[in-house]
Amino acid sequence: MSERALLSALALVIGLLPSSGAFAQAKNPVTIEIDAAAAGTSLKPVWAYFGYDEANYTTLPEARELLRTLATLQQGPVHVRTHFLFNTGDGTPALKWGSTNLYSEDADENPVYDFTLIDQIMDATLEAGVFPLFEIGFMPKALSTRPDPYENSSPYVLDGGSFFPPKDYEKWAGLVTAWAEDAKELYSDSVSGWSWELWNETHLRYFQGTFEEYARLYDYTEAALHTVLPNARLGGPAVASADGAFLADFLEHCASGTNGVSGQVGTRLDLVTFHAKGGVGLADGHVQMDLGRQLRLHRAGFEAVAKSAFAAAPIVISEADPDGCAACPSTRARHLDYRNSPAYGAYEVAMMKHSLDLAEDLGVDLRGVLTWAFTFPDTPFFAGYRALATNGVHLPVLNAFKLLARLSGDRLPVQSSGARPLDELLAQGFRDVPDVDALAARDGDQIQILIWHYHDQLAAADPVQVALTVTVPATFAPRVRITHQRVDETHGNAFTVWRSQGSPQAPSGAELAELRRAMDALELEPERVADLAGKTVTLSFELPRFAVSLLTLTPFSADQAKPPPTDGASLGGGGCSCRTSAEKGTAGDPLLATLLFAGLARRRPRGTRRERRTRSRIERTRSSEIPTC
């Protein structure tokens, strides 16, 4: 690519606003200190959760490929959540819709179960090496209290019959029981690793019933699921925002309310879930995000849990995103242009770190912060959906997750002059001064440091100079091997290259190859070796606005052949790198871990199971026969 073309592309991407003095960076360097010799605390990979609306996308080649990519991000399990798994329909993939047709009724109104399509979705999920956060919903047409019209009038209107309570709670419980039996039989080697959740955004139009109806639905679901899978982790209520009364009322119901099945006090709750969306808009002609509001919503949910009888329960924020409509392309709203830029990844990385800090501060057990973004097959390149990839090309946000997911082991103490106290971030947000902060971890003899430069406003700004000092364990002396990977406008960013190509909607083979090279080009500079000054190594580099950098430090011994260039002062450059063999040996190989998890996720051979691709079952179970919690 010519220099002129690259500069033109950068102007299109980052020139959303002329530079404003109000947001200019201070010239003083940001000092970041990492004590990698100190005792750390176990780092929770809360970012290993993803989701999407369109359940039937799961079996498409583009989606399968992306699921495999997500599976290799982490050494541990990655969970995936999707909507519409219980909906009636023929399984045709569609925007903001899905169906499996798992439930219908015969002429005598007896249940008929057909798990063909939902089994295919679960097969594709587990074969990719990821685990379900299985969302139980929505209502099959034959069970809905308002079955017609059943499908939504448009992808952006929630007015269909699948969002209503059941006309018969015992039949609903029977469906949950039958599906749990199917999952137990087919996926017995992996089902213990699943998590479960009832419904989605239960106080909005996704559930057009009362709170009491949702509470009753949860009671019946819990009793039915745990009859078959007593160790299943079931959660709710997946409210769209935790700052209302619904979450607190639900926690109170499960703690001390009357169980709708047993008549006894309380209902088992294994997992508390809620959603949070920060909000994105336009201000003075440029995109403005709101990470501060996002974190305040997280705090509201954490506080509701901390005050309840479930203060020790695991929490999953089962949708946590900058805005509220993944399926809306940026052509519908220009403020969604952030999605193709590095700003999206910087937002996510900063959100994960500050959410961990917030959970620790409030004493709650945060297990997951789920990113509701995936891929949209058969849509234009870089259309501005909230996605991780476009037509198989990874977006900068996915590359930011790749860097984030490299962190493992024990979290290390970090001091950054570019960070502000948590209380100040919650009160003032990220609109006056940027957030230049870090998350660091040590796993064996590998130290990894993730550093970002985030601001709510997508305006052009100067980079900051970072002065990084790392105190290393004694085993690192006298030299340290360093790699530096980056996501910014020119690293790990296929969008910039696509714009320089003229934004082709049918890229040639050569253009597509160039896009794939760009998405993989994460290396900022070639691997190098630095000398220690006592027990510390000091590094200096520029960090552009919205850039995310990952530095990996490992011991370098004299018997290692052909050492990389030595430079103890600064870092810079470009290219692509992988872990060294020493790194793999100390921190674990993600590919090997994925293969192990995929092995655990294999399904039981069909030859040993009863034949039931389409079967009828006359339900004779009475309410009193459903076990209580």
Query: Comparing C-alpha atoms, which of 587, 519, 521, 518 is closest to residue 552?
Result: 587
Q: Which residues pair with 296 in a beta bridge?
A: none
Question: Which of 134-148, 341-355, 597-611 has the least mean pLDDT?
Answer: 597-611
CB 236 within 8 A of CB 220: no
Tokens for 103, please give them.
Answer: 């439930």
CB 83 within 8 A of CB 136: no
Question: Helix 61-71 vs helix 590-600: angle between axes, to the nearest 10 degrees?
Answer: 110
44-402: CATH topology is TIM Barrel (3.20.20)
Tokens for 1, please give them.
Answer: 């690519």
Distance, C-alpha 542 to centroid of its chain: 28
Give pLDDT, residue 27.
Answer: 66
Query: Comparing C-alpha atoms, which of 83, 119, 88, 90 is closest to residue 103?
Result: 88
CATH 2.60.40.1500, the chain: domain bounds: 3-41+406-598
Supply the CATH classification number for the domain 3-41+406-598: 2.60.40.1500
CB atoms within 10 A of CB 424: 12
CB 139 within 8 A of CB 166: yes
CB 443 within 8 A of CB 462: no
CB 117 within 8 A of CB 58: no
Q: What tens digit of pLDDT does each residue of 151-210 get?
A: 999 999 999 999 999 999 999 999 999 999 999 999 998 999 999 999 999 999 999 999
Strand locations in 246-332 (E): 271-277, 281-283, 286-288, 314-321
CB 439 within 8 A of CB 346: no
CA–CA distance, 169 with 567 (Å, rounded to integer): 69
Give pLDDT, residue 19.
Answer: 37
Q: What tens digit of pLDDT does each residue of 289-320 get?
A: 999 999 999 999 999 999 999 999 999 999 99
CA angle (164, 371, 459) in 5-degree steps:
120
- Confidence band for 499, pLDDT divided at 50, 70 and 90: very high
CATH 3.20.20.80, the chain: domain bounds: 44-402
Give pLDDT, residue 279.
Answer: 96
